[in-house]
Structure 1
Amino acid sequence: MSKGWSIYVILIVAANILGAAWLLWWTSRPPKDGKHTETTGHVWDGDIREYNKPLPRWWINLFYITIVFAIGYLIWFPGLGGFAGTAGWTSAGEHDRAKSEADARLAEAFSRFDGMGIDEIARDEQAVGFGARIFANTCAQCHGADGRGARGFPNLTDADWQWGGSPEQILTTVLHGRQAAMPALGAAMGGEVGISEVAAYVQSLSGLRADPALAGAGRARFAGVCAACHGADGRGNEALGAPNLTDGVWLYGGDFETIREGVIAGRNGMMPAHLPILGETRSRLVAAYVWSISDAARREAGGSAAAGGESVR
């Protein structure tokens, strides 16, 4: 706050305090002739009169005490413009102290999970509960309260994983984030016809209905450009984060126009790193929760409890 604004605020506060004190004194002083008028002279409905009686002395004195208290409060705490107050209190300092105390309590509650394996944490009911609450506060904004995701945000409750679904792979994702890198390939496909051909071929890989002539022509284009990341069979590459194109899971949608859009403009979804946000142990807890909600689907799909499933798109 500038010096000018500080002086302005101080003058406003002082005027309010002095005005309240003066108004209290002026309205409670005795009349000059020593006699109080019985009524104000206001009459309603013929016989309802407004009386003019002085306030009790105890009430007036209590009001004066509140004015003195207000002055003392403004000296002790900040409230007069840029004056910091003699106590040195600030809202930021209060927040930092409260946060420090809360962090200490959380650290004590979470300390027994330090360095513990994700699958081991997932067997602890209390730990999974901790992870669920952290997920709700931090991850649900993108992945949904139930973890089922949305367009552009992966479903975390199935057995399909773009970067791998093992406990350590999930932990790595939570700690360090993921950055998708599907480049724009419209020019590499030779224009509109080539884009349509490869889009139709990608549809055919997952069993979707596609134009057979376009799909047949797109096979060679896919092998020459897309197979470098997605593999010759289109099953993807977890090390690169290249999705499996042969299953029925689509992150952005599997219709013809959406696939064309991905080929033309690329995809650059980002999962932010949560180590700076949550720290190591809380990241482990939320990773264990995520692994736990997808474990049933993983086992149902035939994968082992420690191995990742297929890829998410």
Structure 2
Amino acid sequence: MSNGWSWYVIALVVLNLAGCVWLLWWTGKRRPGDPAPEDTSHYWDGDLTEYNKPMPRWWLGLFYLSIVFSVGYLVYYPGLGNWVGSSGWTSPREHNVDKAQNDTRIAATFAPYAQVSLPELARDPAALRLGQAIFANQCAACHGADARGARGFPDLTDAIWHWGGKPEDVLASVADGRQAMMPALASALGGEQGIAETIAYVQSLSGQKVDAALAAAGAPRFAVCAACHGADGKGNALLGAPDLSDTYWLYGGDTASIRETLEKGRSGQMPAHAQALGAARARVVAAWVYSRSQPQAQP
């Protein structure tokens, strides 16, 4: 805050306090010619009378005490422009102290799980409760509260893992994140006809009913896709390239959805959570995610 704005705030605060003192003094005194407290001639229902009595002294005293308290408060805490207050209190320092205390409690809670393997954690009811709570706060916005995902967000409860479903793969996804990239391939596939043929061939890999001639024409065009998805279309977990021969489609397996994928490409990002969660919490939530696709691992 500049000095000009600081003095403006100080003047505003002082004027308001002085105005409150003056208002209490001015309205609390009686002047010559004022009607007597019982002489107002305002009556209702015959016997209800409005009086003009001044406020009790103790009540006025409380008002004055509140003003004295506010002055002391403004001296002790930073409330007058750039004045830092006699206590030296700051909200960032208060935040840092609270955060340090909470971090200590969190570290103590998750310390027992820091060196435990994910399969073991996946059989620990206490660890799974903690993992589910973390998932609800950090992951459910994309993958859903039940971890079943949505269009463009993987279902974490099945056995299909584009980046690998081993415990270390799941932990790497949570801690380090993933960046998938499917480039637009319209020109590489030969335009509209090439796209239609490739769509038919890709759909045939997953057992969908397609035009056999169109799919056969698309087979050689699939060589463009085989660099990532493999010659047999079964994908590559190292690249996050999905298996095109199963029935699971992250963005949809209908003709329109596949066409959109080929023409515009896809870019899916799983953010890294290692820094936000820390190693122990990332491990616990990864164990919960791993347990969703491993029913035999659940307690």
Shorter-chain TM-score: what band?
Answer: over 0.9
Instruction: Report the Cα distance in structure 2 between the residues aligned to 1:192 and 1:33, rounded to whole angstroms.
Output: 98
Find out whether 1:178 has 2:172 as its counterpart.
Answer: no
Q: Which residue of 2 aligns with 1:269?
A: 268
Contact 1:30-1:36 at 8 Å conserved across structures: no
Q: Which amino acid aligns with 1:250?
A: W
Q: Which amino acid aligns with 2:62?
A: L
1:117 positional shift: 1.0
Aligned-partner SS, 1:49 = strand
Pairs within 5 Å for 1:102-251: 102-222=102-222, 224-251=223-250
**Residues 139-186 of structure 1, C-alpha deviations (whole Å, 9 max, x = no match):** 111111111111111011111100011111100111111110211111
Instruction: Report the Cα distance in structure 1 between the residues aligned to 2:58 and 2:48, rounded to whole angstroms.
Output: 28
Contact 1:39-1:49 at 8 Å conserved across structures: no
Aligned-partner SS, 1:236 = coil
Aligned-partner SS, 1:16 = helix
Q: How many residues align?
A: 297
**Residues 270-293 of structure 1, C-alpha deviations (whole Å, 9 max, x = no match):** 111111111111100010000011
| Structure 2 CA distance for partners of 1:17 and 1:192, relative to 1, 3 Å | same
**Residues 168-211 of structure 1, C-alpha deviations (whole Å, 9 max, x = no match):** 11001111111102111111101111011101111111112222
Q: Which residue of 2 aligns with 1:84?
A: 84
**Residues 219-274 of structure 1, C-alpha deviations (whole Å, 9 max, x = no match):** 1101x211121111111111121100011111110110110111112111011111
Instruction: Report the Cα distance in structure 2 between the residues aligned to 1:20 and 1:232, rounded to whole angstroms.
Output: 83
Q: Which residue of 1 aligns with 2:253?
A: 254
Instruction: Report the Cα distance in structure 1 between the residues aligned to 2:57 and 2:277, rounded to whole angstroms.
Output: 59
Contact 1:174-1:275 at 8 Å conserved across structures: yes
Instruction: Report the Cα distance in structure 2 between the residues aligned to 1:34 and 1:45, rounded to whole angstroms.
Output: 25
Q: Which amino acid aligns with 2:51?
A: Y
Instruction: Report the Cα distance in structure 1 between the residues aligned to 2:41 and 2:15, rounded to whole angstroms.
Output: 32
Q: State the TM-score, normalized to the length of structure 2.
A: 0.94
Bigger drift between 70-79 and 6-15 goes to 6-15
1:43 positional shift: 4.7
**Residues 73-114 of structure 1, C-alpha deviations (whole Å, 9 max, x = no match):** 011111222222111112222111111101100101111111
Aligned-partner SS, 2:49 = strand
Root mean square deviation of aligned Cα: 1.8
Q: Which amino acid aligns with 2:206?
A: S
Q: Which amino acid aligns with 2:279?
A: E
Instruction: Report the Cα distance in structure 2 between the residues aligned to 1:220 and 1:40, rounded to whole angstroms.
Output: 103
Instruction: Report the Cα distance in structure 2 between the residues aligned to 1:48 and 1:58, rounded to whole angstroms.
Output: 26
1:35 positional shift: 7.4
Q: Which residue of 2 aligns with 1:291?
A: 290
1:41 positional shift: 4.9
| Percentage of identical aligned residues | 57
Instruction: Report the Cα distance in structure 2 between the residues aligned to 1:213 and 1:44, rounded to whole angstroms.
Output: 98
Contact 1:201-1:216 at 8 Å conserved across structures: yes
1:19 positional shift: 1.0
Instruction: Report the Cα distance in structure 1 between the residues aligned to 2:109 and 2:37, rounded to whole angstroms.
Output: 70
Q: Which amino acid aligns with 1:64?
A: Y
Aligned-partner SS, 2:224 = helix
Unpaired runs of 5+ residues, structure 2, are none
1:115 positional shift: 2.4
